[in-house]
């Protein structure tokens, strides 16, 4: 594979107080290679990315880039040395335009005479065109883009820096289709660039990567040729034991269940005249291609967005879901789990315990102060439900892995004591172990008569977890699929507008 490695890491270690995030990690990547890093959330992948990107410094170990010592202390330093990163938790500035985000910090001009806006736009258009992105307006504000569009912009910005090593951290977590990304990666590696690819989607890893290094508890367990190793062997290396069943055993919905949420004729944004019902004891799925109106539906039911027309009833009574607080006050409450945990789900500067406890502040306060003993007691039960270990309670939530951050978001939703959860793609970008914890939590939540509405970009989740599944196409519900017809093939055809399904009203 070549005598000089694109990247050589030896004995890399990083500690955060008493917590060891990396322990003597060793790996080697060669030019032209797409090399995967696999491991559960908390295995050390995020710490490795931060070290290679210059965001944090290791306690010990060495790194060589193209045979030369490499020890960056800033993101810009890493970029100048030849390493560019597209982060899972997007690093874009939402209040700036696409063009400004794409070109920073390379916007030219002088101290007193900045570059003209037209020049910035033209340069950004050229970059987007070079990487085959023609549907994103360079003058649009980033905050107005969908999550998938922001993900592509993050990737294009990393590509545009002409790196020797490109790091892609869960790059397809928000992409409805990986075809565009894979085309750019293959084009890049043909020129000799190496790619470090982090993903929980093993099928993608097998399609794109040649080798993989498996991490567990901060250590590099092995580097394997993907063509010669089975999925079960990889999972066993990741978790240290034989893999568990991916999905819990199906549970039948309760007979004669009551209707908790009923929407009639909801219209907002891309959503058009949508009606649905969610019953107690039910996990109701939503399948859709990117941008079909599913986000508007979930935001409206969670009290985050508004609707132009239509009505929502909770426990048979009309409710005005004008804010998340109002949604929680409707009967026993509706709790919304948002699409993007970094900007919508967590308070990064607070501890995990504080993030989880926020809905309970009125109940655990005594004389205007939060009682520590009550705080711990209130959070532990919710944390156990999502398999979040106690040792993370005192960590700033921004220092946790993406999977543990998502567990914090879900635990907080449980602590609201809501009877309904409205969850938008809750397993996006998390590992198989965290997914299993989320699946188990969902099944436990509905087992005692509560209910969940869930959108997932992974059709297999909807097929295995849900009692029914709605399919949205062109802003309308085109299919209401019961368990007897619930297959990935059926959902995929309906999501593309095929199968002759007419727009449906709520199923009885």
Question: In three state form, how does the secondary structure of 453-501 look?
Answer: EEECCCHHHHHHHCCEEEEEECCEEEEEEEHHHCCHHHHHHHHCCCCCC
pLDDT at residue 155, as a whole number:
95
Question: Distance (Å, rounded) from C-alpha 126 to C-alpha 55?
Answer: 29
Provide the token pair at 376. Answer: 């711990």
Residue given tokens 């030369």 in the structure block: 68
End-to-end Cα distance, the chain: 61
pLDDT reported for residue 369: 61
- Give the single-character DSSP code of 230: -
pLDDT beneath 50: ranges in the chain = 1-2, 109-112, 500-508
So what's the pLDDT on residue 244?
58
Please say whether the beta carbons of 99 and 123 come within 8 A. yes
Smallest Cα–Cα separation from 415: which of 375, 465, 365? 375
Distance from C-alpha of 339 to C-alpha of 429, rounded to nearest angstrom: 11
Domains belonging to the chain, first-starting first, are 7-239 (3.40.50.300), 259-495 (3.40.50.300)
How far is residue 152's CA from residue 146's CA, in Å, rounded to a whole number?
A: 10
Q: How high is the mean pLDDT of the chain? A: 86
In our burial notation (b when 16+ CB lie closer than 10 A, e otherwise), range 443-474 reads: bebbeeebbbbbbbbebebbbbbbbbbbbbbe
Query: What pTM does this model have?
Result: 0.71
Q: What is the pLDDT of residue 503?
A: 41
State the pLDDT at residue 501: 44
Q: Percent of the chain at pLDDT above 90?
A: 49
What pLDDT score does 212 carry?
Answer: 96
Ramachandran region, residue 256 (left: φ > 0; alpha: ψ -120 to 50; beta: rest): left
């Amino acid at each position: 594979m070549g005598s000089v490695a694109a990247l050589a890491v030896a004995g890399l270690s990083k500690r955060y107080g008493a917590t060891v995030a990396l322990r003597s990690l060793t790996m080697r990547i060669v030019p032209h290679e797409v090399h995967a890093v696999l491991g559960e959330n908390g295995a050390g992948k995020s710490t490795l990315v931060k070290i290679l990107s210059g965001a944090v410094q290791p306690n010990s170990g060495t790194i060589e880039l193209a045979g030369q010592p490499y020890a960056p202390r800033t993101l810009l330093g890493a970029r100048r040395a030849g390493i560019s990163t597209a982060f899972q938790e997007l690093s874009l500035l939402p209040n700036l335009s696409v063009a400004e985000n794409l070109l920073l910090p390379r916007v030219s001009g002088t101290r007193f005479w900045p570059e003209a806006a037209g020049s910035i736009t033209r340069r950004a258009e050229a970059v987007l065109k070079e990487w085959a992105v023609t549907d994103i307006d360079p003058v649009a504000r980033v905050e107005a883009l969908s999550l998938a569009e922001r993900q592509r912009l993050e990737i294009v910005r990393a590509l545009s820096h002409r790196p020797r090593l490109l790091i892609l951290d869960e790059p397809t977590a928000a992409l409805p289709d990986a075809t565009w990304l894979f085309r750019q990666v293959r084009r890049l590696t043909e020129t000799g660039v190496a790619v470090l690819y982090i993903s929980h989607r093993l099928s993608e890893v097998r399609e794109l990567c040649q080798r993989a290094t498996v991490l567990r508890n901060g250590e590099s367990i092995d580097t394997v040729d993907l063509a010669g190793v089975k999925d079960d062997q990889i999972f066993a290396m990741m978790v240290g034991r034989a893999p568990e069943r991916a999905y819990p055993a199906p549970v039948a919905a309760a007979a004669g269940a009551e209707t908790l949420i009923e929407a009639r004729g909801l219209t907002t944004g891309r959503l058009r005249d949508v009606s649905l019902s969610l019953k107690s004891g039910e996990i109701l799925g939503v399948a859709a291609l990117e941008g079909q109106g599913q986000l508007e539906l979930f935001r409206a039911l969670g009290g985050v967005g508004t609707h132009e027309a239509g009505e929502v009833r909770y426990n048979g009574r009309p409710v005005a879901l004008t804010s998340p607080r109002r949604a929680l006050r409707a009967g026993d409450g509706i709790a919304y789990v948002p699409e993007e945990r970094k900007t919508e789900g967590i308070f990064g500067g607070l501890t995990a315990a504080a993030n989880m406890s926020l809905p309970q502040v009125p109940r655990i306060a005594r004389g205007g102060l939060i009682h520590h003993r009550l705080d711990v007691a209130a959070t532990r039960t919710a944390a156990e439900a999502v398999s979040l270990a106690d040792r993370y309670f005192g960590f700033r939530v921004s220092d946790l892995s993406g999977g543990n951050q998502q567990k914090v978001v879900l635990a907080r939703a449980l602590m609201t004591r809501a009877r309904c959860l409205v969850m938008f793609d809750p397993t996006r970008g998390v590992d198989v172990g965290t997914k299993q914890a989320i699946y188990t939590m969902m099944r436990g939540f509905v087992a005692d008569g509560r209910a969940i509405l869930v959108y997932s970009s992974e059709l297999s989740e909807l097929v295995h977890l849900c009692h029914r599944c709605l399919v949205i196409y062109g802003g309308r519900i085109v299919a209401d699929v019961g368990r007897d017809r619930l297959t990935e093939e059926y959902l995929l055809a309906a999501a593309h507008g095929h199968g002759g399904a007419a727009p449906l009203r709520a199923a009885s």
